[in-house]
Structures are given as structure tokens and as C-alpha cells.
A = this chain, B = another copy of it.
Amino acid sequence: MSARLAEMTTLEATRAAEDGTIVVLPVGAFEQHGAALPMATDQIRAEALADAVAEALPGRVIIGPGVPVGVSPHHQAFAGTVSLRPALFAAVVREYVESLAAHGWRRFLVITGHGGNNSTLGTIAQDLLRDRPDIEFAWAPVTALAKDAVAEMELSAISGHSGEAETSQMLHVAPDLVRHDLLAPGTTTPDELDPFARLARSVSHPAVAVAYDRLSPTGVLGDPRRASAEHGRAIYAEATDRLVAFIKEWLDT
């Protein structure tokens, strides 16, 4: 049987809730990813990780409904981007959690393919802490779970959105959606950034929010030509291992 609640019947859902499963919620973004990657890149990456984790832990987790659109105001200048305000994204995730808690689930893990959702996820956790102390809520961005695999890649001085690591993931999980012939370097060195955008990228500095069109005219940070499906596989392997270990430990508490 699928681990996706979307594909379950209500009778199957009843049993899954009784089994004390952990609910994994894959959330993404609907935003520009340069000339070669599709809008849904972040959602696809989050769902692929959710699937991998569910496969590794049969009967211990279910995959709940996803949120296909995330918090992406910094990409709004690029056509196709759709964005929810932080408060709205938070309300959607909160309703998912409340609805599922009404059926008996108490543990939720959000996997976000989009780092721009992190702050909002933090605020959701804080509100749950106040209103629903009976619920345990965790969240993780995909790439951050695979630090070692990413460290082994040869990254540009500036690398990130639609760059080496992200493109590698897509080459692994959704190669058909990558426009291989359009992979091209975006901003790869600090001196290509405009002065304020450079400020945002300085180490140990305050955080600064900057629209992506100030970071890169093509919406790409790094050189995606260096990406490979193999790197992508390594990233997924590490991220999956880490989440599996985390969930096992959680189930034991």
C-alpha cells in the first residue's frame, strides 16, 4: 500500500492513525529556477525525499498533503513565480496539522524543498507550542540534510538557488524536467552581485533580504553545468539516512 495519504481510503487512514505513524508533509515552492529547471523544482525535491523516507520506514510514516506553493517574494520578478505570504503559508500548514490531529496523529515532520519557507515554519512551530502542546512538530530543508555530500561537490564561490547542488538533485529525481541544453552559469562570484546584494552574502553579518533579480539576472546562483545525477543521488542518500535516523529516534521517545 502507498504511504501517501492522498492515495489511501478513509479505512486505511483510520488504521494508519491508530498505528502511531509520523506524518511527513512535503512542502515546496512554485518559483523560477532559471532557464533549465521548472517552477515545481522545490516541491518535486521535497516529495522525492518524502517518498524515500517512507520507503525506508514502511508502516512508520505516512505522507500527508503537500503545499505546492511556498513563500517566494524574492523571486516574484521572474515570470511564473507564485507566492504565498508567510502568514498564509503558515495558516495552510497549521490547518493540515489540526485536521490530521483531529484523527489522532500527533507527530509531524515538514520536509521543505524551499529554504524560503524556513522562517515561516519556525513561526508555525512557535504557535503550535503555545496552542497545541500535545503536538510534536519538526521541519527540515532538503539540502541542509546532506552537508557532507554537498561538501564533496566543487561549488562556485557563489552557489545556491538552481546551482550545482539543486540541479544535481533534479538530475537524480526528475531528469526529464531538466533542460540540459539550457544549463548555464548564473552568478558565480561575489563581484557579480550588486553592492547591497553582496552585503547579504557576507559571512557573520546581519541577515538581509534581497530580491533575486539583484543577485542574478538569470535567477541562478552557481554553475549548474557542474551538476550530475550522481551528486544528486549522494545528496538524497545522505538526507534520507539522516531523516530515517531522526525518525527512528523520535519513535523511540
Contact = CB atoms under 8 A, between A and B. Distances in A.
Contact of A7 (B39, B68, B137, B138): B39
A66 interface: yes
A119 B116 contact: no
A153 interface: no
A224 interface: no
Contacts of A103: 79-81
Given A120-B119, A206-B246, A95 B85 contact: yes
Contact of A35 (B11, B76, B139, B195): B11
Interface in A61-79: 64-66, 68-69, 71, 73-74, 76, 78-79
B136 A196 contact: yes
A206 B243 contact: yes
Interface string A182-216: 10000000000011100100101111111100000
Interface of A: 5-14, 17, 30, 32-40, 43, 64-66, 68-69, 71, 73-74, 76, 78-88, 90-92, 95-96, 99-100, 102-104, 109, 116, 118-123, 125-130, 133, 136-140, 144-145, 147, 177, 179, 182, 194-196, 199, 202, 204-211, 219, 242-243, 246, 249-250, 252-253
